[in-house]
Structure 1
Amino acid sequence: MEGELYNLFKVWFSVFASLFYCFAIGKTVPKATVAAMARALLGLELEPQFNEPYLSTSLQDFWGRRWNLMVSSILRPTVYEPLLKTSAPIIGRKWAPLPAILGTFVVSAVMHELMFYYLSRVKPTWEITWFFLLHGVCLVAEVALKKAVARRWCLPRFISTPLTVGFVLVTGFWLFFPEFLRCRADVRAFEEYSAISAFLKNAASMFRSFNT
């Protein structure tokens, strides 16, 4: 029995480690590389794209303040705020964020489906859409619950953080990760890194040849 539990633990640890790599490192490294190049070539300091998402205490904290901040800063003025202004006269300012949140996740789902279709050129399975719809609905429920209790009660951080991160990992492994592998995004990313590395090596060798 102990051996089976140990093997089960190893399997799930491998799954979560792989998922963390694809979610965090797979997205952080390219953007960190771009930021480093912008700093070196143009003297520009780009804003950080992630703010320690593993410390998220809620889905609202994860999606709004910690994960993929560039996309959040784009969707907020283009989707969320217009929907918020449209919904406020109909259902009131207190509850207007709920349809605005759900609409933002719908747009994000469509964006990701198009991105994965561009990478794979195969018929979508709509798992990505279900991933974002699930998170949108859960975030709406979370915000509604917070408004209902008026923040009189909240979970301590040592409970809310594992619950939040665990929910993101499990749902990501269930709905997001299979599509990520199906379109071979990880393989394509490494191919792009190799191409960039080869280009930089050639540029460096040409620069040295000009100076000799």
Structure 2
Amino acid sequence: METLLDPGEPYFRVDLGTHLPMPIYFSLVGLHMVAHYKLLAMPNLSRAFMQWATSLIVVSLVLLPLWRGVNPEHPLVDMGVSFGCVFSAIRVALLTAAACRQSASEQRAAIKRALHKKLDDYPSASAQMAAAPAKTGLAISSLGDYIRAMYLDEPAPAAHLSSQQIERSNGRSVASAVDSVQAQLIHLANGYDQWLKSIGWHTLPFWIRYPLSPLAYLLMLQLPLALVVRNVDFLTLYSVDRTAAAYFYGMSAAGAFLRWTLVIVALVFAFYLGMLMWYAIVFDLVQWAVGAPARRDLFRRPWLTSSPRDLWGRRWNLPVQTSLAEAVYQPCCRLLDAAAQRAYALAAGGRQAGLPRPLRRANRFVAGFGVFCLSALIHEYTLSVAFGRSDLDHLRFFCFHGLLTIGYTLLETAACAILPSALMPNASLPFVVGWLLTWICMALSAQWFFMPYIRGGLVDNFVYYAFL
């Protein structure tokens, strides 16, 4: 029999019937991290064995949340920890790949040093080899260094990709300047940063700043949370039957839709501030424990986004975004470019030929969409672990925004080829246009993102965080 919060049979269920206690759960996660740290710290370890052992750790980390099971009293905790396990698995794989690259680089350096001894009779070659810059890699000598590399340090971008920009069809490239409206907003945000510096916030002791940061986010959370809590019943009913919600609350279809949109926007900001609060609680403590000077930002002012590409590529959930870019986007770009290069070389009779610009851009679109798809699968997995079911709502959400990002980029390219530079001085659409389009699409598609939380009763639990 169908109910309000369970409108139908899900696409798949995930529940092993186990309920691992939380202390044991966290202990097992910690053991995985210690095992990987010991693996990286072992000298003279073969790369084949390191890759094999890392594969076991990655698979075990991904499957570990299944043994926790579904705890209806703590779905947010279960979902957060399961997402942390998957994110840690990605970081483990990336650290091992970096260690293997460093090992190979050290072997090449040893060979060069051996050859260098034989080049004493050739001063020019010897001087050229001696002048070559030394490559720096991982420097993990303690567990604190390992934690910093895992969670606090920014990954190094690939040089051949970071130096490339997507050119517009008329030859103009994306400039670093910003729109005048965006510049005013950035000026206001910088004024806030200057105010924090003037009151000496960053010079306060850790034991003062640590409790105040999440408390400040919790207080800012109250305004959007008050609107969400007062409309939980409407939100739930509208998510299941829009006509019934409009009839029950005595509203027109347009009025119900506007109310739904307003509540969803408030839910987006509540979700954003809630993530900042929990991120400050966890990672500020980790930063202090390992003695790191700073931690990477979780967000980079997403309310200043100028396009879908700017939101997802430069501002939203940066630790995950940079890790997925290193794990998925960059390898896919290299593989697609190499495959296309071989195909063009075969077609040209073995002659090397540069890839056409449209094909390079198409390869990057495919790689970028692959990042969205992997992110969707990770979210579906964590939802399945937390709620025991999945209806593929997050797959719809992330695929939609992946296609939106590609479509908006193509629209900018076409507009840049047609419109004069006065209308597109930065080779991009005006900030107001991109900002409105991004957040309108976010509000319209947010029902897919929040539907599992509404269905699972997680939004109902927000009342415990509300003061108003």
Residue 28 in structure 1 maps to residue 304 in structure 2: no
> Post-superposition shift, 1:179?
1.1
Q: 1:139 to 1:6 in 2, by over 3 A?
A: closer
Shift of 1:15: 3.2
| Structure number having the greater helix percentage | 1
CA distance in 2, matches of 1:7, 1:133: 27
Matched with 2:400 is 134
CA deviation vs aligned residue, 1:130-173 (integer Å, no higher than 9, x gap): 1011111111222333444557643211232122122112211x
- Please give the per-residue CA displacement for 1:158-192, whole angstroms capped at 9, x wherever unaligned: 232122122112211x211111222344577999x
Q: Residue 117 and residue 9 in structure 1: after superposition, are their counterparts in 2 closer, same or farther (change >3 A)?
A: closer
Structure 1: runs of 5+ lacking an equivalent: 194-212
- Give identity over the alignment, percent: 24
Moved more, 136-145 or 7-16: 7-16
1:50 aligns with 2:323: no
Rounded to whole Å, the distance in 1 between the matches of 2:257 and 2:370 is 38
Measured in 1, the distance between the counterparts of 2:463 and 2:316 equals: 22
Displacement of 1:25 in angstroms is 1.7
Corresponding residue to 2:452 among 153, 166, 179:
179
Q: Aligned letter for 2:430?
A: P
Which letter does structure 1 place at the counterpart of 2:371? T
Q: Which shows bigger deviation, 25-34 or 66-75?
A: 25-34
Q: Is contact 1:119–1:185 with CA below 8 Å preserved after alignment?
A: no
**Is contact 2:261–2:444 with CA below 8 Å preserved after alignment?**
no
- How big is the shift at 1:11? 5.4
Pair 1:121-2:394 in alignment: no
Of residues 402, 409, 428, the one that matches 1:143 is 409
Change (3 A) 1:185 1:9: closer
Amino acid at match of 1:105: F
Distance 1:120 1:171 in 2: 21
SS at match of 1:94: helix
CA RMSD of aligned residues (A): 2.9
Question: What is the CA-CA distance between 1:85 and the residue it aligns to?
Answer: 1.4
Instruction: Quote the residue 1:160 is aligned against.
Output: 434
Within 5 Å, give how 1:66-105 maps onto structure 2: 66-88=315-337, 89-90=339-340, 92-105=359-372
Other structure's SS at 2:360 match: coil
Cα distance, 1:67 vs. partner? 0.1
- Shift of the 109–15 alpha-carbon distance from structure 1 to 2, 3 Å rule, reads closer
CA contact (8 A) 1:31 1:49 kept: yes
Q: CA separation in 1, counterparts of 2:462 and 2:334?
A: 39
Q: Shift of residue 27 of structure 1? A: 1.9
Deviation at 1:87, TM superposition (A): 1.9
Equivalent pairs counted in the alignment come to 187
Classify 1:184/1:43 alpha carbon distance in 2 versus 1 (closer, same or farther; 3 Å): farther
Q: Look up the equivalent residue of 2:407 and give its one-letter code.
A: A
In structure 2, what residue type is equivalent to 1:115?
T
User: Which region of structure 1 is more displaced relative to structure 2, 162-171 or 180-189?
Assistant: 180-189
Cα pair distance change 1:185/1:82, threshold 3 Å = farther
Query: Which residue identity is paired with 1:156?
Result: P
Give distance in 1, aligned partners of 2:258 and 2:459: 25
Contact map agreement 2:264 2:443 (CA 8 A) in 1: no
Query: Counterpart of 2:362 in 1: which secondary structure?
Result: coil
Q: Deviations over 1:67-91 (max 9, x none)?
A: 0001111100111111111222438
Residue equivalent to 1:108: 375
Q: Distance in 2 between matches of 1:140 and 1:113?
A: 22
- Could you tell me which residue of structure 2 aligns to residue 64 of structure 1? 313
Contact 1:49–1:70 (CA<8 Å) still a contact in 2? yes
Structure 2 CA distance for aligned equivalents of residues 181 and 190 of structure 1: 13
Q: Secondary structure at the match of 1:95?
A: helix
Structure 2, unmatched stretches of 5+, are 1-250, 341-354
RCO greater where, 1 or 2, for CA within 8 Å and sep 6 or more? Answer: 2
